[in-house]
Amino acid sequence: MQLWVGLGNPGAKYAATRHNIGFMALDRIADDHGFGPWKSKFQGQISEGRLGSERIVLLKPETFMNNSGQSVRAAADFYKFTVADLTVFHDELDLAPGKCRLKQGGGHAGHNGLRSIHAHLAPEYQRVRLGIGHPGHKDRVAGYVLADFAKAEQEMLDDLMRGLSDGAAALAAGDRQKFLNAVSLRTAPPRSSTGNHPEKAQTAKTQTERPAKPAPDPEDSRSPLEKLKDKFGK
C-alpha to C-alpha distance for 230 and 212, rounded to whole angstroms: 32
Catalytic residue (one of 19, 111, 120, 197) = 19
Residue range 136-156, pLDDT digits in tens: 999 999 999 999 999 999 999
pTM over 0.85: no
Amino acid identity for residue 1 in this structure = M
- Name the residue ranges covered by the structural domains of the chain: 2-187
- The reply to whether 137 belongs to the active site is no
Q: Which of 88, 97, 81, 73 is nearest to 8 (CA)?
A: 88
Q: How many CA atoms lie within 13 A of 87 on its CB side?
A: 23
Q: Does residue 230 have a pLDDT over 80?
A: no
Query: Sorting pLDDT into bands at 50, 70 and 90, what band is 232?
Result: low
Residue range 96-130, pLDDT digits in tens: 999 999 999 999 999 999 999 999 999 999 999 99
**Can you give the pLDDT at residue 164?**
98
Q: Percent of the chain at pLDDT above 70? A: 82
Residue range 199-216, pLDDT digits in tens: 444 544 444 344 455 555
C-alpha to C-alpha distance for 50 and 168, rounded to whole angstroms: 10
Q: Domain 2-187 adopts which CATH fold?
A: Rossmann fold (3.40.50)
Asked if residues 135 and 94 have their Cβ atoms less than 8 Å apart, the reply is no
**Can you give the pLDDT at residue 206?**
40
Please give the C-alpha separations between residue 184 and each of 82, 167, 170, 179, in angstroms, as whole numbers.
29, 10, 14, 9
Q: What is the maximal distance between C-alpha atoms in the chain? A: 114
What's the first-to-final CA gap in the chain, in angstroms?
A: 104
